[in-house]
Structure 1
Amino acid sequence: MSVYQIEHAIDYTYDKPVTFAPHQLRLRPRSNLHQSVTKFALTISPTPQKLVEAVDLDGNDSIVAWFDNNPTPQLQIQIQATVTTHLVDPFNYLLAPWAASLPLDYPLSMSSQLQPYLAGYLARSIDPIAAEIAAEIWTTVDGNTLAFLTQLNQRIYHNCTYSLRQTGAALPPSSVWKNRSGSCRDLATLFIEVCRAVGLAGRFVSGYEAGAETDDRHLHAWAEIYLPGAGWRGYDPTHGLVVADGHIAIASSPFPAHTTPVEGTLRTIGMVAAAMSYRLLIQKA
């Protein structure tokens, strides 16, 4: 068990005063068996007229901020949180015997629920290069499910270079593998796509890599795979790790875009130049 204190600030500045449409914020870490939030505070400037808390379609905590029509040249969002992580041993589970070999064939009742987690990232069809990687690893491990996940995690980690990319959608899996390079969200999307090629349901997770000893912090992303008997289990191909108590999840979804920490538009008409900066401090209590 580990306890972390988090301070995360995101600042947007504009070249002229603007007004805001409602903004959806996914910045509150989730609470479940793997982690619990004991403190959370949100500060927004300019102060919103109204804040509405909700649980979104994917089960994530969401806060929608409604603003007045007074123009302002900046938007500042800051959270402070204390989170306790509980997943000390990520292998403490019993995999259902029928799920030990690939391809995975979920029971009909389960597969209908998991359909969004089994479709391809683009055009709902599996990327052919991801399918090739899946077939090669599948052959190497003789269809063993857990060995497949371990080999895939290590293959991406050892063959792809991490590159920081603060904005933009996750790149197509084939592009990431061809270039052997990507951001954490690109590498996570590649991992998920390869898993889906052999019938493993996967979802995208945004959060913090709290266990790393560094002052150079960034919002992080990884994958979670649904393993019958074990539930959702995390894999971090950026670092070749199985997710344990050093990761803090904020939001998850079958679609990476649905985990964006701040989502919203401007009401202001016309061209506006914007810049974004952030500060992230994570300390172990």
Structure 2
Amino acid sequence: MGIHIALHHKTSYKYDRLIHLAPHIVRLRPAPHCRTPILSYSMQVIPAEHFINWQQDPFSNYLGRLVFPEKTREFHVEVDLVADMIIINPFDYFLEPHAEKFPFTYESRLRHELRPYLSKRRLGKTFNQYVAEIKSMPGRTIDFLVELNMK
């Protein structure tokens, strides 16, 4: 059993007149694949007169689509949850043989699937220096990750 923590989040808007709220998408619910056990979760929405449809995005994250049939002067979303902060082994994964040494190259099929995460864009001088320093740390991938996290 780990440490129990409570999280409270509140977003509030007040308007000077009655307005019609367009549908809102909220992403304030832990994903079903979250490794941290969630002991309790609640979400309160004002205006109370609303519809919510829970959906999942392509990565299985929850999103709530809120629809408000009536005009309102305020909008509030309040979330409370309690999580059990258990100890999780950060090295609980398997490396494919081609990825045991860093840097490595993804197989073409996997590289295609990961394309959104591998795209590069121009960044600032400080970040580029940081990346150059990282690239100069070849070796075992696990050692690389440990060293990177110690920076």
* Unmatched tracts of structure 1, length 5 or more: 156-285
TM-score (norm 2): 0.78
Q: What whole-Å deviation, never above 9, does each CA across 1:160-190 have from its counterpart, x for those lacking one? A: xxxxxxxxxxxxxxxxxxxxxxxxxxxxxxx
- Closer, same or farther in 2 for the Cα pair 1:131/1:149, shift >3 Å? farther
Give % identity.
25
Counterpart Cα distance in 1 of 2:111 and 2:149: 24
Counterpart Cα distance in 1 of 2:34 and 2:111: 24
Shift of 1:9: 1.9
- Closer, same or farther in 2 for the Cα pair 1:12/1:143, shift >3 Å? farther
Counterpart Cα distance in 2 of 1:30 and 1:40: 12
Determine the structure 1 residue equivalent to 2:88: 88
Shift of 1:133: 2.3
Shift of 1:84: 3.2
Determine the structure 2 residue equivalent to 1:18: 19
2:134 matched to 1:145? no
Determine the structure 2 residue equivalent to 1:169: none
Counterpart Cα distance in 2 of 1:85 and 1:144: 30
Shift of 1:132: 3.9
Counterpart Cα distance in 2 of 1:103 and 1:39: 41
Determine the structure 1 residue equivalent to 2:131: 134
TM-score (norm 1): 0.45
| C-alpha contact 1:22 1:64 (8 A) present in aligned 2 | yes
Counterpart Cα distance in 2 of 1:87 and 1:98: 29
- Closer, same or farther in 2 for the Cα pair 1:153/1:31, shift >3 Å? same
Shift of 1:128: 6.6
Shift of 1:105: 1.2
Counterpart Cα distance in 1 of 2:134 and 2:23: 45
2:117 matched to 1:117? yes
Shift of 1:143: 4.3
- Closer, same or farther in 2 for the Cα pair 1:102/1:126, shift >3 Å? farther
- Closer, same or farther in 2 for the Cα pair 1:57/1:93, shift >3 Å? closer
Equivalences, count = 149
SS at match of 2:102: coil
Q: What whole-Å deviation, never above 9, does each CA across 1:46-83 have from its counterpart, x for those lacking one? A: 124311110012321110100123231x2111112233
Counterpart Cα distance in 1 of 2:124 and 2:5: 40
Work out which of the two has the higher radius of gyration on C-alpha atoms and give 1 or 2.
2
Determine the structure 2 residue equivalent to 1:191: none
1:50-61 equivalence runs, <5 A: 50-61=51-62
Give the root-mean-square deviation of aligned CA atoms: 2.6
2:100 matched to 1:105? no
